[in-house]
Amino acid sequence: MSVATRLVQDQSARFTPVPADTLYQFNESPLLARQSQQESNARSYPRRIPLALKRAKGLYVEDVEGRTFIDCLAGAGTLALGHNHPVVIEAIQRVLADELPLHTLDLTTPVKDQFVQDLFGLLPKALAAQAKIQFCGPTGTDAVEAALKLVRTATGRSTVLSFQGGYHGMSQGALSLMGSLGPKKPLGALLSSGVQFMPYPYDYRCPFGLGGAQGVKANLHYLENLLNDPEGGVQLPAAVIVEVVQGEGGVIPADLDWLRGLRRITEKAGVALIVDEIQSGFARTGKMFAFEHAGIIPDVVVMSKAIGGSLPLAVVVYRDWLDTWLPGAHAGTFRGNQMAMAAGSAVMRYLVEHKVCEHAAAMGKRLNEHLRILQRDFPQLGDIRGRGLMLGVELVDPTGVTDALGHPPAFARLAPLVQRECLKRGLILELGGRLGAVVRFLPPLVITASEIDRVAEIFGRALAAATASL
C-alpha cells in the first residue's frame, strides 16, 4: 500500500463510508432555502448540488444532515490532496504559530521565497532556467488577465488566438477568450474584442469532420495558413492561449502531435504560446504539468487552483524574454497570501515525495477501464476521454441522427439525471462540455484503488437508474 493510500484512509476513518444501498432524498433544508432566497441569481453549483456542507476530510464531505458524499468535484480540481490533508493543515498552522504577516502585498517573506523555489523546482529545466514569476490576484482569471497584458506588452501586438470550447475565467478579458457564448451574450460587446477563435482538436466531434491523424493534420494546416496568409484577414497575434486538456469545455485532451505542431508553428511565427494549466496542473493528468505529455516548453504558463494547496493563489510563470512590462503593470492587493503559499509548498513537496503523478496516472487508468466496461452495457457513454484523473464521459443519444463521423448527438437531457442519481447515491460529480452533456471526474489525486472502484460502481448504478427513467 502506498503512503498516499494510507494517509487518505487514515483521514477518512472518522467518516461513515457511503453505504452500498444509499439513496439520499433531497428536501430543501432551511440553509438551502435561505441561500436561494438571499444569494445572487448568478450562483451556480448549489443549483445542481443542493448540499449544505458541514465538514470534510480527504475524499469525503459531510453535510449538515450527517450524510457523507464522495467528492469527485474537489473544488473544481483545486483539492489535489483532498480536503484538509494533514500536510496542508500543518503548513497553515505553522504560519499562524510563527506569527507570519498574513497579508504582504507582493513583499517577500521566507515562505514566499520557499514557494518560488518549490515551484521552479517542478518546472521542466528548460523553462526553470529562464523563468520569471508574477503573483496575481488570487483567482485563475486574474492570472489570465496578467498573461494577456504580459504578451501584449512584450510583442507590441494586441490580438490573441483562443480555441473553441476554451475556458479561461470570468473577468472581462478572460471571458472574451471563452468559447461558450452563454455568459457573454447578456454583455453585448466585450471590453476586449481582439480575439480570434480557432478550432480545437476535439477528436470525437472533429471540427473538420475528419478525426484522428487526418483531423490533427488539417487543424495544424489551417492554423499555419491563417498565421501566414497575407490576405487571411487576421492580424499576427501577440499569443495563442490553450488548455492542454479542455476542462469546462468537456474534458477534451489535445492530441500530443497537435500540441507539438502548435508549438512549432507559434515559435516560427514569433507568437507567444500561453498554456493555461489552471485546471490540468499539478499532477492531475499524470504529469506535473499537462504540457509535459507533449514535451513542449510554452512561453507562458498560467497556474491557480491546486497551487495554493486549497487556498486562493494564482501566478503566471513565463520566459524572461517576455519580461518587458513596467513596474506595477499588474498590481493588486491580494497577491501575498502566506497561508496559501505555505500550503502550496506543502502540496508540491507531497506530490513529488509520494510520486502522486504516477498514482494519478494509475488511478485514472483504472477509472477509465471501469468506464469502458460500463460502455458495453450503456451505449449512452459515447466518448470516454481525458488524461490521468481529469476524465470525462460524453453522453450521447444512441437513437439520434449520427454526425459526419458516425457519432450520435450529445444527450443533454440525460446528463443532469445521471448527476442527480449519483448524488442520491452519495457521489458528487460535475457536468461540462457542449450542452452540459459531459460527466466530469475530478477527484482528489490521492484517491485509492478501492475508492475508484466504488465511484465506478455508484456511477454504473446511477446510469442504470437515469436511463430507466427516460
Ligand X SMILES: Cc1ncc(COP(=O)(O)O)c(C=O)c1O
| Positions that interact with ligand X (CB under 6 A) | 76, 139-141, 144, 167-169, 243, 247-248, 276, 278-279, 304
Q: Which is nearer to ligand X, 111 or 302 (CB)?
A: 302
Query: CA-to-CA distance for 285 and 290, rounded, in angstroms?
Result: 6
Q: How far is the CB of 383 from ligand X (least distance, A)?
A: 20
User: In sequence order, which ranges of 393-448 are alpha helices (DSSP H)?
Assistant: 414-424
Give CA angle at 187 (415, 305), nearest 5°: 55
Identity of the residue, 139 or 448, whose beta carbon is nearer to ligand X in the bound complex: 139
Angstrom distance (rounded) from CA 376 to CA 381: 9
Residue 17, burial from CB neighbour count under 10 angstroms (0-12, 13-18, 19+): middle
In the complex, what is the shortest distance from the CB of residue 312 to ligand X, in angstroms, rounded to a whole number?
8
Q: How far is the CB of 141 from ligand X (least distance, A)?
A: 3
Q: How far is the CB of 144 from ligand X (least distance, A)?
A: 6
**Shortest Cβ distance from residue 283 to ligand X (Å)?**
16
Identify which of 336, 339, 438, 422 has the alpha carbon closest to the alpha carbon of residue 385.
438
Q: Which is nearer to ligand X, 77 or 215 (CB)?
A: 77
Provide, rounded to whole angstroms, the least separation between the CB of residue 280 and ligand X. 7
The gap between the terminal CA atoms of the chain, to the nearest Å, is 42
Q: How far is the CB of 335 from ligand X (least distance, A)?
A: 14
- Residue 36's nearest CA partner among 54, 24, 51, 57 is 51
Amino acid, single-letter form, for residue 149: K
| Residue 139 C-beta: closest distance to ligand X, Å | 4
Max intra-chain CA distance, the chain: 66
Looking at the Cβ atoms of 244 and 462, the one nearer to ligand X is: 244
To ligand X, the closest distance from the beta carbon of 162 in angstroms equals 11
Residue-wise over 69-98: b if at least 16 C-beta within 10 A, else e?
Answer: bbbbbbbbbbbbbbbebebbeebbeebeee
Nearer Cβ to ligand X (143/466): 143
At 308, phi and psi to the nearest 5? -95, 15
Q: Which is nearer to ligand X, 276 or 394 (CB)?
A: 276
Nearer to ligand X, 143 or 455 (CB): 143
Nearer to ligand X, 304 or 345 (CB): 304
Which residue sits closest to ligand X, CB atoms considered? 140
Residue closer to ligand X (CB basis): 51 or 144: 144
Burial (CB < 10 A; 0-12, 13-18, 19+), residue 260, is middle
Listing from the earlier edge strand, what are the strands of the sheet with 390-395? 381-387, 390-395, 438-441, 430-432
Cβ count near 407 (within 10 Å): 17
Helix axes 449-468, 414-424, angle to 10 degrees: 130
